Amino acid sequence: MKVIQSNEKETEPGQFITKVQDAQIIEDPMLGKKEVKATYYFKGTVQHEVGKELSIELSRYRIAEHEMMNPATQEKFQAKWLHAKAL
């Protein structure tokens, strides 16, 4: 997955919100070849470089949807957040 953004959370110094995107080409019998993208967010103590490829094994995480708002447009959307599963 490619890092799209990684910014320090204003209310929690030392914590970074990182946005990653996975893009795959699928072959659909009706639509033909189609690019499918999925975007995920996670919070951690590491700021990742934009454009960097991260190897993320989704089975190690619980995916939860949380409402977020785009600060530029004030539009609300459901974001997919990665939460580490307990070992």
**24, two tokens:** 């795959």
Q: For the segment 14-64, what is each residue's pLDDT rounded down to a tens digit?
A: 999 999 999 989 998 998 999 999 999 999 999 999 999 999 999 999 999
pLDDT at 87: 67
Name 50's Cβ contacts closer than 8 Å, sequence gap at least 6. 3, 4, 5, 6
| Mean of pLDDT values over 68-85 | 92
Rounded Cα distance between 1 and 80, Å, is 14
Phi/psi at 7 (5° precision): -130, 145
State pTM to two decimals. 0.84
Instruction: Give per-residue pLDDT as tens, 63-75.
Output: 999 999 988 899 9
